[in-house]
Each structure stands twice: as C-alpha cells, then as structure tokens.
Amino acid sequence: MIKLEHVYKYFSQNRPAVSDVSLEVQPGETLVLLGTSGSGKTTTLRMINRLVEPSEGNILVNGKRIQDQSPEDLRRGIGYVLQENGLFPHYTVAENIAVVPNLLGWDKTRITERVDVLMEKLHLPPAEYRQKYPRQLSGGQQQRVGLARALAADPPVLLMDEPFGALDPVTRASVRKEFRTLDELAHKTVIIVTHDVQEAFELGTRIGLMDDGKLQQIGAPAELLFRPANDFVTAFFRDQRLSLELKTLTLADIKPYLPPTADTDHYQPHVLPGSTSCWDALEETMHTEGAISVDFRTEVFTMDSRSLMTAITVYKQTALAHGSATKLF
C-alpha cells in the first residue's frame, strides 16, 4: 500500500514542483500518473523511494513512514523500472535479474529458479537468453529484463517511470499487453508514470491526472472521461475522446441499448464475453462477415457493427441526459 498525505516538493523557493498531493494506492491496484511535461509526475514517484526527499507532508509505504526507514531498506521492498532500463552492460541477463536476490543473500538454487521463472513469464526462454548481454537484445527484450529485475525479489510495491517510453509503437503495444496479463502483478501496489493517454487507459485501474504540480483529478478511467473535475481534465482528453470512450465502455455497459435479438439457439461462430470493450468488439465486427454474438452469461445477444454503434450512441445520450454516468461504475 502507498499513501501520500499533503505532499509538497520545492526545488526552489518560489514555486512547488509538487503541490499538496494526497493519494492512496491499494495492493492489486495500478495507479497511472498522467499529465503534461513538467507537471510533477516523476518527482512524485521519486519521492516514494526517497530518490527525492519531500519538502512537506507524509508518505507511507505498507503502513510505515518512509522517513523512518533508511533509503536502502525502503528500496529493497520497492521494484523500480526506468525508461532507459538501467541494466548493467557487463552483466549477463541472468546476472542483471539476480542483482537484488544476491543482495538479499538468497542461495544459488533459489536465485536460478527465480530467474528462470521470470524469464519464462516474460517470454525470454532461459536457455537462449540467460548468458546474453543487454547489448545483444532488442529494446523490447531489454525492457523485459528490466521488469524481471524489478520483480525478482517479489517486492510488494512496483514503481515505473515511463517504462515503455523508449520503445517503438508496435513493440510498446506488445510489451504493454504482456505487462497487463502478468500474474506477478496481481497483488502488487503499482504506480506508473506516463504521458501517453492510451497507455494510461490500458494499464490504469485508476488515473491521477497532474498539471502544474497538482493532482487535478484521480479516479477510474471512466470517471475522468465522463465526470471530469474541471476544464483542464476535459481539454486533456478532447483529441482522443472517441477512442478512449470505446476502450472504456464494455458491452455489458451498453447492453440495455443493444437490439432485442436475444436468441440462445443461434450462436454465431464468433462469441465475445460481455466484459469485452466496445473498441475490441467493433474491431471484431469489422473483421467478421455478418454478425457476432455476445455472451452475457444469462443470455446471448447478436449484433453487427451498425447495431453496436447505435447502442453506444444511445448509451452516451442517455448518460448525458441524466446528467451523470452513474451506470458506468
């Protein structure tokens, strides 16, 4: 668990780089800090592992004030991933991943097993990659090693600063997808800094949107989209609004507005679960000749791209007409 209480950071007298930030992240949650350049995201993150000392306020990690622990002890319980992966160039992949377990004095067999397990999970077959050096790997592979190293000692907290920022868009999307499905993260408290809006919506259980050192809004992605706290929040998402809405809404959200074609006897060959995002569903309908089915557990609906778009439009009109989007949450 991570908790910030009225945290400020002044690098100079006049203006705080971070101003009155309070937030809480629970185990199993991923908070994405999103915002404009220079808004204080990285400073906020670096205060949590004491790479930057807060000027005012309290920070607690797993219930303990960070100021009451030595930076070394604190950092042993915190995995940290950077954009430039920070791998040691003269260490092999296996040696890089084993850095923290070695510091903690684990025995050799346990370290070897742990390194192999992580490499398998991150799609780096140990037989092929254990003895390679970082320079022999692609950017995406290096970033996976960086992630494996951060996870090696199974820390309860993971901090990531633009972890996919140095990758090309295609590699970035695939590494991100792997990251999302990694079982190692299920019970961890994760904070990710990014300025990539799509990434924030894909990875964040909640998003904290920062501007001018302040947290402008913190909440579920749908809350920021459909219940913005101020004009800055609305403007920040304006350019990508439609794709974000489609990625945030699920078929279950718009179910009341799908055409009444419930027919359990006529499954289409393509069946999607109700938890599918409207974005993914639309993609499926585009690639499928004819209709697809949606399995809502108790009933099955059939739809095509036209009925899907109509349902989304009616949903949005209804949410707006009622002055809130409470049905979303």
Give residues in contact with ligand ATP (CB under 6 A).
11, 17, 35, 37-43, 195
Residue 314, burial from CB neighbour count under 10 angstroms (0-12, 13-18, 19+)? middle
List phi, psi (to 5°) of 206: -135, 160
- Smallest distance from ligand ATP to CB 81, Å: 15
- Smallest distance from ligand ATP to CB 162, Å: 7
- Smallest distance from ligand ATP to CB 44, Å: 7
- Smallest distance from ligand ATP to CB 38, Å: 4
Nearer to ligand ATP, 176 or 195 (CB): 195
The structure tokens listed for 199 are 């990434």
Query: What is the three-class DSSP state of 208?
Result: strand
- Smallest distance from ligand ATP to CB 195, Å: 5
Nearer to ligand ATP, 8 or 257 (CB): 8
Nearer to ligand ATP, 11 or 267 (CB): 11
- In 71-221, DSSP assigns E strands to 78-82, 157-161, 189-194, 206-211, 214-219
Nearer to ligand ATP, 10 or 106 (CB): 10
Nearer to ligand ATP, 101 or 204 (CB): 204
Nearer to ligand ATP, 37 or 181 (CB): 37
User: In Å, what is the CA distance from 22 to each residue of 1, 9, 113, 228?
Assistant: 14, 13, 39, 18
- Smallest distance from ligand ATP to CB 33, Å: 8
Q: Which of 95, 102, 185, 174 is nearest to 141 (CA)?
A: 174
- Smallest distance from ligand ATP to CB 26, Å: 23
Nearer to ligand ATP, 19 or 302 (CB): 19
Calpha distance 158→282 (Å, rounded)? 34
DSSP of 222-270: HHHHHS-SSHHHHHHHGGGHHHHHHHH-BHHHHGGGS-S---TT---S-
Torsion of CA 272, 273, 275, 278, to 10 degrees: 20
